[in-house]
Amino acid sequence: MGTDKPHDFTALGSSPDRYLLTPAQIAAYDRDGYLVLPQVLSDAELGPLEAVFERFIRGEVAGMGRDFCDMSGPYGRAFEDFNLVNAVLPRVYEPALVDNVFERRATSIAQQLMGADATLDYDQFLAKRPQRAGAVFAWHQDLGYWPSGTPDTRTVTCSLALDDATLENGCLRVVPRSHLEQALRPHRPSAWSTSPELRAEAHTLTVELRKTDQVVALPLARGSITVHNERIVHGSAGNQTDGWRRTYVIAHRSRQTVTYERSIGFTHSHNDTINWQTHLEALEV
């Protein structure tokens, strides 16, 4: 890792806030449903963000309710038992994050991929604990978690590696071009939530992989990002290493979509009353 050529922020059209994509990268995103972009943030830029990230991941931010949870298991697990520590909407709980350098670069990337009305919809901190086989992000399509009636579903999700992401620590894996399928795949509650008493607590959903799916792993150097479409099938495996795998996620959608979803009470908070449970009912699971 770390052998990527540095991104040239002085190139024509680039600026400290603008990460300029090439036409080939934009075409690859449309074709494959994902991109890997090297060196979006430098070590010096990552430092202050990491300090905030750590406070969240240690559980030191009060008042989050279900927005601080284990993304690999039921709500209500003891903190020590979290495998995949998940802090949703950190910018809501810590406004100092608003307009940080990653937000600005993610907005510039999203605007190049989906148009000038790309607006920051939600953010998320994810951290896989060392030596946790259970730190699995089940296969899913992001859209499977969101309200089914939204007219414009376009989403650009940027995931920034705070640690090198590797096969061993459970880097992101995608099924290229699955975003082009006509219909969303059926989403089911994850295996751990199939018992009746846990069913009410289901917040992770999963899709079946098909025999024809060709999975591609996306190892990533610290400071680099993956970008993915809301319909691509993706997930990640457990962490078999002695280190953490920490990721900072920012998703952009059209301004109209964000306004519409807020109007029906959907904010991406796990404390929302309209949530994936509502969506599960819509899917008749």
Compute the least distance from the CB of residue 134 to ligand AKG, in Å. Answer: 13
137 binds ligand AKG (CB under 6 A): yes
One residue of 52, 205, 249, 280 binding ligand AKG per CB under 6 A:
249
Q: In what order do the strands lie in the sheet with 118-128?
A: 34-37, 225-229, 155-161, 245-254, 118-128, 84-88, 68-70
Compute the least distance from the CB of residue 195 to ligand AKG, in Å. Answer: 24
Write the DSSP string, 236-249.
E--B-SSS-EEEEE
Question: Which residue sits closest to ligand AKG, CB atoms considered?
Answer: 236
3-state SS assignment for residue 89: coil
Of 126 and 258, nearer to ligand AKG (C-beta) is 126
CA-to-CA separations, 260 to 36, 142, 150, 266, 268, in angstroms, rounded: 30, 18, 8, 9, 13
3-state SS assignment for residue 191: helix
Compute the least distance from the CB of residue 140 to ligand AKG, in Å. Answer: 7
One residue of 142, 168, 213, 272 binding ligand AKG per CB under 6 A:
142
Compute the least distance from the CB of residue 132 to ligand AKG, in Å. Answer: 12
Question: Which residues, numbered 193-212, are part of the site for ligand AKG (CB under 6 A)?
Answer: none
57 binds ligand AKG (CB under 6 A): no
Write the DSSP string, 17-78.
TB-PPPHHHHHHHHHHSEEEES-SS-HHHHHHHHHHHHHHHTT-STT-GGGEEETTS-TT--
One residue of 83, 236, 254, 267 binding ligand AKG per CB under 6 A:
236
Q: Kindly determine how many residues on this chain lie close enough to bind ligand AKG according to the rule CB under 6 A.
A: 10
234 binds ligand AKG (CB under 6 A): yes
Gap between the Cα atoms of 162 and 159, Å rounded: 9
157 binds ligand AKG (CB under 6 A): yes
Compute the least distance from the CB of residue 23 to ligand AKG, in Å. Answer: 26
**Helices 23-32/101-114 angle, 10° precision:** 80
135 binds ligand AKG (CB under 6 A): no
Between 158 and 177, how does the x/- string for binding to ligand AKG read (CB under 6 A)? -x------------x-----
One residue of 39, 155, 247, 267 binding ligand AKG per CB under 6 A:
247
Of 178 and 236, nearer to ligand AKG (C-beta) is 236
Compute the least distance from the CB of residue 205 to ligand AKG, in Å. Answer: 11
Amino acid 12 reads L
Gap between the Cα atoms of 71 and 153, Å rounded: 23
**Helices 101-114/43-57 angle, 10° precision:** 100
Of 52 and 85, nearer to ligand AKG (C-beta) is 85
Question: Which residues, numbered 67-126, are part of the site for ligand AKG (CB under 6 A)?
Answer: 126
Q: Could you tell me whether strands 205-206 and 84-88 are parallel, antiparallel, or unpaired per DSSP bridges? A: unpaired
CA-to-CA separations, 141 to 144, 188, 193, 206, 255, in angstroms, rounded: 5, 11, 18, 8, 21
User: What would you measure as the largest C-alpha separation in the chain, in angstroms?
Assistant: 58
List interacting residues with ligand AKG (CB under 6 A).
126, 137, 142, 157, 159, 172, 234, 236, 247, 249
